[in-house]
Amino acid sequence: MSRQALDAFAAGIESEVLEAIEIGARSGVDKRLATLTEDYADADALRRLAGQVRQHTLDHLDEYLASAEERLTSHGAQVHFAASPDRALEMILDIVRASGTRVITKSKSMASEELDLTRRLTEEGFEPVETDLGEFVVQLDGDRPSHIVKPIIHKNRRDVARSFERCGLGDYDDDPETITRRARAYMRDKFLDARVTMTGANFISAESGRVAVVTNEGNARFGLAAADVHIVLAGIDKVIPRDRDLALLLSLLIRSATGQRITSYVELVAGPRLADRPSGPREMHVIFLDANRSSVVGSDMAPILRCIRCGACMNACPVYRLSSGHAYRGVYPGPMGAVLGPLLAGNEGFAAVADLARASTFCGACRDVCPVDIPIPDLLARLRARSVREGVILARAGVPSMAGYLLLARHPRLWRLAMGLGRVLDWLPLRRLPLASIRAWFDSRTLPRWRGAQFRKDVKRGRREQEDG
């Protein structure tokens, strides 16, 4: 293969899709910047602080997880640990079967995508309903989210109107308010039918066991109000030390994700209904999903687990914007996904997605916007080195060998000789050479005229003149 799979995918995307992504991502970038600079004198200092809080948590994850489990249990919640997505799915199936429900409402959760949950629950005869509007459209279309905050960033409202029409939710109408009203009317009955509701968790406090869930549509709250059983599915990396850390982390998460100061709804759930806590589901389960996260904790890749899933890195990434989230072939797209995806795939799955680490110019736009200060380009570089070390073939596509370069770079005489000989490049029909890597350059670019070793000659002459004079 002469180039990377992601590049080939990008070359085939329709312009309408690219336009939708560009608009969505750009508005994310602009809103984020506006709120952060308006609200904080030194937003960078806050990003660094948040990065330290998250890294500290990871460095003591065992203790904080144990504390969160203890607090949740003492509040009457049941806490489970799932080593793999399949194990988490079994746990969820056990809980929903025991509840006797058919309908399950569900708010947005990227961890649930790791389980392919909606599809799997449907296969098992249940009726899961995605209640986040974007995820609802994904479900209608049998599609996959292409962004972790804006799952249908790749669609425009005409696409959505067509989906609604196709699924019997009314005649074609691409007015956003009409679309929203129709979804609302459809979901209302589902909320009332569902005895189980599922949420993810944006954060779980080790101090109190409080689970924080942010939404703009109130769908998580409606689910919690109507159901008997609440299942929280969360990565083990979602724990934070104290409730007060929410002030910092929610402030940065929401500003970075949507440019809002706060989302319309922030749920804080510490346990099921009890005598002194008279509302909410009577049963609460918290499933902590590992799925290879614990193998990343304590490694040189650990900083990626600081991620709080704001999506700012993909909004800012020119490669993401020109290739779409689907080009990343997994749950997590964009720069954070290019790091997290290959790691969550584990040792067995690494080779199949290791090439994602090459989907970056190392421009650092992602690092500059990351609310928890993750050095994403450095992590991508480490993954590239690992893929070379492990001889991953897919990751090698289109990447020239360094053998010739190394020979020259280590032998100054050869290097100087090559600098002189390079002049032939000016005369060769480079565009017609059957060498993929050379063609990749010359198909869309020219090269300046060769001036190899001219400067060295000057330096030498200058030195001679100095000695003579």
Partner 1 sequence: MVPNREPVTGRRVQFMISCLCDAFFDDAARAAMDCLERAGCAVTCPSDQTCCGQPAYTSGDWDAYRQVVRHVAHVFHGDEPIVVASGSCATAMFHEAPIAFEGQADLPEIRRLASRTWELTDFLVNGLGVRAWSGRLPARIAVHDGCHTRGTPTIRAVRALLGGIDGLEVLAFPDQDQCCGFGGVFSISHPHISAAMGRQKVDNVRSVSPDFVVSADLSCLMHQQGIAGRQNREYPVRYVAQVLRDAAGGPA
Among the listed residues 45, 409, 421, 433, the single contact to partner 1 using CB under 8 A: 409
DSSP 89-139: HHHHHHHHHHHT-SEEEE---HHHHHTTHHHHHHHTT-EEEE-SHHHHHHH
Report the nearest approach of partner 1 to the CB of residue 295 (Å).
Answer: 19
The region of 79-87, 105-113, 153-161, 440-448 touching partner 1 under the rule CB under 8 A is 440-448
Choose between 171 and 410: whose C-beta lies nearer to partner 1.
410
Buried b (16+ CB within 10 A) or exposed e, 122-141: eeeebebbbbbbbbbbbbbb
Shortest distance, position 45 Cβ to partner 1, whole Å: 14
Closest distance to partner 1 from the beta carbon of 463 (Å): 9
Tell me how far apart the alpha carbons of residues 299 and 278 are, in angstroms, rounded to a whole number. 44
Q: What is the smallest separation between the CB atom of 275 and partner 1, expressed in angstroms? A: 54
Nearer to partner 1, 157 or 386 (CB): 386
Nearer to partner 1, 247 or 385 (CB): 385
Helix axes 412-421, 403-410, angle to 10 degrees: 110
Q: Provide the b/e sequence for 33-59 (b: ≥16 CB within 10 Å).
A: bebbeeeeeebeebbeebbebbbebbe
Q: Which of 16, 455, 461, 464 forms a contact with partner 1 (CB under 8 A)?
A: 455
Binds partner 1 by CB under 8 A, chosen from 101, 205, 251, 323: 323
Candidate list 19, 393, 447, 461; residue touching partner 1; CB under 8 A: 447
Residue from the set 322, 394, 417, 430 that interacts with partner 1 by CB under 8 A: 322
With a CB cutoff of 8 Å and minimum separation 6, the contacts of 295 are 343, 346
341, 328 contact by CB (below 8 A) = yes
d(CA 76, CA 268): 15
At 34 the three-state DSSP class reads helix
Say which DSSP state 145 is in. -
> CB 25 → partner 1: shortest distance, Å?
12
Is 11 an interacting residue with respect to partner 1 (CB under 8 A)? yes
Given 244, 458, 461, 464, the residue binding partner 1 (CB under 8 A): 458
Tokens, residue 78: 């049941």
Provide the 8-state DSSP code for 274: B
List strand residue ranges (DSSP E) for 196-246, in order.
196-199, 203-205, 211-215, 229-235, 239-240
Q: One symbol per residue from 281 to 320: x for binding partner 1 (CB under 8 A), - otherwise; what is it?
A: -------------------x-----------------xx-
The reply to whether 34 sits near partner 1 by the rule CB under 8 A is no
Q: Are 178 and 172 in contact (CB under 8 A)?
A: no
User: How many residues sit in the footprint of partner 1 (CB under 8 A)?
Assistant: 69
Interface with partner 1 (CB under 8 A), residue from 274, 437, 461, 464: 437
Q: Are strands 265-269 and 78-82 parallel, antiparallel or unpaired?
A: unpaired
Site map 335..374 versus partner 1, x via CB under 8 A: ----------------------xxxxxxxxx-xx------
Closer residue to partner 1 in complex, CB, 215/387: 387
Binding pattern to partner 1, positions 369-408, x when CB under 8 A? ---------x--xx-xxxxxx-----x-xxxx-xx-xx-x
Q: How many CB atoms lie within 10 A of CB 77?
A: 21
Task: Report angle CA 226, 228, 234 to the nearest 5 degrees.
Answer: 95
Closer CB to partner 1, residue 291 or residue 369?
369
Q: Is 189 exposed, middle or buried (0-12, 13-18, 19+ CB in 10 A)?
A: exposed
Task: Measure the N-to-C terminal CA separation of the chain; round to a whole number of Å.
Answer: 58
The reply to whether 47 sits near partner 1 by the rule CB under 8 A is no
Q: How many CB atoms lie within 10 A of CB 323?
A: 24
Residue numbers 212-271 binding partner 1 by CB under 8 A: none
DSSP type of residue 303: G
Of 140 and 425, nearer to partner 1 (C-beta) is 425
- Three-state DSSP class for 353? helix
CB of 335 to partner 1, least distance (A): 12
Asked if 453 touches partner 1 (CB under 8 A), the answer is yes
Closest to partner 1 by CB, 219 or 360: 360
**Binding interface with partner 1 (CB under 8 A):** 3-4, 6-8, 10-11, 300, 318-319, 322-323, 357-365, 367-368, 378, 381-382, 384-389, 395, 397-400, 402-403, 405-406, 408-410, 412, 415-416, 419, 422, 437, 440-441, 443-456, 458-460
